[in-house]
Amino acid sequence: MDCELLDPGYSGYIFTWYNGWSPSKRIWKRLDRILASHEWMSLFDSTNFNHLIRTGSDHSPLFLIAKTNQRDPIKYFKFLDLWAEEVDFKSVVEQAWNIKVQGSPMWRFHLKLKNTSRQLSEWSKNTVGNIFDRIKELKDTVGKLEDNIILDNSENMALLNQANAMLIRVYKKEESFWKQKSGVKWCVEGEVNSKYFHSNLFTKKGVISDMSILDCIPKIINDADNEMLTTIPTMEELREVVFAMSSQSAVIRFQKH
C-alpha cells in the first residue's frame, strides 16, 4: 500500500544499526528511519532529523526537532456591511476620521484609513461582538424562557418576546455576514493549489527548486507598458478611482517606504 510517505533525509551518522560481530562478518545498515507525509512536511517545514550515537544498543536513537518557519497569517482589515446598521457606527467613523494627522496628502489619507480601521475593529469587538456566540446565547435564553412558560403560565411573555426580537436582529446580522462573505468565496476556492504540486515544485523553505519553470511564463510587458505602469498617478486620477469604487470593494492601502 502506497502511504505517500517521504524520507526527508537526516544528519549525523550514516548507519543506524550494527550487528557487533567480528570485522569479517560486520554489518552496518540504516535500518531505522523517520518517514513523513506531504502534509506534515508542509506544516513543519524546518525540521531536523538526527541519527545519534549508539549507547547500550545496536540501534542508534533517532532525534527529531519539529520546527516551522511559517508565521501567523496577517489579519487584514475587512469592512462588514452589518456595521452600518448599528446606531453609533457613523459617529465612530467620524471621530476616527477627524483625528489630526501630519504629512503629505496621500500619507494623511493612509493614516486616516488606518485610524478608522483600527477604531472600527475595536468598536466591533466591544459593541457588535461575535454574532455566532451571541446567537447561541440567545437561543439558549429563548429555550429556557419557553420552558419556564410551559411549566408556569404566569411567567411574563414580554421577556420571551424581547429575547425573540433580539435573536431575529442577530440572525439578520448573520445573514448579512454570509451574504457579504459569499461574494469573495470564489477567490478562496480558486487559489487552492495541489499539495502534491507544492511538495515537488518548492523546497522546504518555500523557494522554487526548478528555476526552469519560470521560462514557461510569457513576458507580455514591454518597456512602454512598464513606464506607464510605474508613472505616479495624479491626484485627479486617484480621486476618480476612489470615488468609482463599489461599496463592496476593499479599501486601498498605501504604505510609506
pLDDT in tens, 8-54: 888 888 888 888 888 788 888 888 888 888 888 778 877 788 888 87
| Mean pLDDT along residues 228-237 | 85
Cα separation, 247 vs 219, whole angstroms:
35
For 216, the grid coordinates are 514557461
11-12/48-51 β-pairing: parallel
Mean pLDDT of 240-249: 75
Distance, first Cα to last Cα, the chain: 54
Beta bridge partners of 36: 6
Q: What is the pLDDT of residue 194?
A: 44
The mean per-residue pLDDT over the stretch 67-84 comes to 78
- Looking at residue 119, its pLDDT comes to 92
Its pTM stands at 0.44
- pLDDT for res 92: 92
Q: What percent of the chain has pLDDT over 90?
A: 6
Tens digits of residue pLDDT in 113-166: 889 999 999 999 888 888 889 888 988 888 888 888 777 766 667 888 888 888
Which pLDDT belongs to residue 60? 87
210-243: b (≥16 Cβ within 10 Å) or e? eeeeeeeeeeeeeeeeeeeeeeeeeeeebeeeee
Is it the case that residue 201 has pLDDT exceeding 70? no
For residue 95, which of 129, 120, 121 has the smallest C-alpha distance?
A: 120
Q: What is the rounded distance in angstroms from the CA atom of residue 162 to the CA atom of residue 146?
A: 12
**Following CA atoms 133, 72, 186, 191 in sequence, which dihedral angle do they give, to the nearest 10 degrees?**
-160
